[in-house]
């Protein structure tokens, strides 16, 4: 018998649903995946944009962004972090170009001088239907009706709709909507994904049906995790994605 984690996050629920064995490696066994080009890119871009929106509205310009990016690059010692990555992805100059292009594409989605964010990197700890959840919301604002709009920056490609359903794509943000409702009694009107690489915004109106589906997924996944811990067995979901999984050398399905 194994001990379930004390809490789940929206991303860890997604990991379990993708592959229970991968969930076990990361959340039960505590094995950590090393940083990658993609994770460093996302973290750096998120950090710069968070600091951009901490400035006064009239300071949020493209020129200020460039200076801010340079400051955050030095403050986070990103030179060393990117230098330590596998060079198959590119050199430091390639990383900087990709990151800054993502940041500049923010202006294709909105005018930062006219966006009033109420929260960024907002931590939420709450139980939803008895399931303890913890997560960090990238950003949220209040719309004209007084309801919350939750947003999430993405620095990767827009997912192919042939392989990703709307419920799956927005599951994390709908979970945050449930968490805000439970913790702060705040109702969310819309959730949005800001794909910075392509300068594309995908959003969806939050409805009771969508929240009910997300809530059912949370409860169902928690029950499955508890049952797997009781058995001491986590299934391996073998797909083509296994070739990119850090845990493949340790995975029972590939021994």
- DSSP per residue, 28-88: IS---PPP-HHHHHHHHHHHHHHHHTTS-GGG--HHHHHHHHHHHHHHTTHHHHHHTS-GG
Domain ranges of the chain: 10-28+115-231, 37-114
Q: What is the pLDDT of residue 49?
A: 98
- C-alpha to C-alpha distance for 103 and 99, rounded to whole angstroms: 6
- C-alpha to C-alpha distance for 148 and 100, rounded to whole angstroms: 28
Tell me how many degrees the CA angle 50-9-109 measures, rounded to the nearest 5: 35
**Sheet of strand 131-142: strand arrangement:** 119-128, 131-142, 148-154, 188-195, 200-205
Residue 104 clears pLDDT 70, i.e. is over it: yes
Sign (positive/negative) of CA torsion 222, 6, 177, 56? Answer: negative
Give one word for 130, left, alpha or beta, with left for phi > 0 and alpha for psi -120 to 50: left
- DSSP per residue, 203-234: EEE--HHHHHHHHHHHHHHHHHHHHHHHHT--
Q: What is the pLDDT of residue 163?
A: 62
Residue 158 clears pLDDT 90, i.e. is over it: no
- C-alpha to C-alpha distance for 121 and 134, rounded to whole angstroms: 12
Q: What is the pLDDT of residue 87?
A: 79
- C-alpha to C-alpha distance for 234 and 56, rounded to whole angstroms: 49
Q: What is the pLDDT of residue 63?
A: 96
Q: What is the pLDDT of residue 164?
A: 67
Give the tens place of pLDDT for each residue, 203-242.
Answer: 999 999 999 999 999 999 999 999 999 999 999 999 888 9
Residue 129 sits at φ, ψ, to 5 deg, of: 55, 40
- C-alpha to C-alpha distance for 92 and 78, rounded to whole angstroms: 9
Cβ contacts of 234 within 8 Å, gap of 6 or more: 20, 21, 23, 24, 28, 228
Give the tens place of pLDDT for each residue, 162-199.
Answer: 666 777 899 999 999 999 999 988 899 999 999 999 99
Q: What is the pLDDT of residue 22?
A: 96
Helices 10-18 and 208-231, axial angle in degrees (round to 10): 60
Give the tens place of pLDDT for each residue, 32-83.
Answer: 999 999 999 999 999 999 999 999 999 999 999 999 999 999 999 999 999 9
Q: What is the pLDDT of residue 184?
A: 83
DSSP state of 129: T
Q: What is the pLDDT of residue 168?
A: 84
């Amino acid at each position: 018998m194994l001990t379930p984690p004390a809490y789940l996050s929206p991303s860890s629920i997604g990991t379990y649903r993708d592959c229970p064995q991968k969930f076990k490696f990361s959340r039960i066994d505590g094995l950590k995946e090393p940083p990658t080009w993609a994770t460093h890119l996302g973290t750096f871009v998120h950090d710069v944009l968070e600091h951009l929106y901490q400035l006064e509205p009239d300071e949020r310009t493209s020129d200020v962004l460039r200076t801010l990016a340079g400051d955050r690059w030095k403050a986070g010692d990103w030179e060393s972090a990117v230098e330590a990555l596998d060079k198959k992805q590119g050199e430091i100059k390639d990383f900087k170009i990709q990151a800054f292009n993502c940041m500049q594409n923010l202006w294709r989605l909105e005018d930062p001088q006219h966006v009033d964010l109420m929260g960024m990197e907002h931590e939420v700890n709450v139980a939803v239907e008895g399931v303890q959840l913890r997560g960090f919301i990238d950003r949220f604002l209040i719309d004209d009706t007084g309801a919350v709009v939750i947003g999430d920056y993405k620095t990767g490609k827009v997912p192919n709709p042939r392989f990703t359903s709307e419920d799956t794509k927005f599951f994390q943000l709908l979970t945050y909507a449930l968490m805000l409702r439970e913790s702060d009694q705040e109702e969310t009107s819309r959730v949005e994904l800001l794909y910075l690489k392509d300068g594309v915004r995908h959003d969806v109106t939050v409805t009771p049906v969508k929240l009910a589906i997300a809530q059912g997924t949370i409860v169902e996944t928690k029950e499955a995790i508890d049952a797997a811990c009781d058995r001491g067995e986590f299934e391996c979901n073998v797909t083509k994605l296994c070739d990119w999984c850090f845990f493949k050398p340790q995975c029972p399905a590939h021994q």
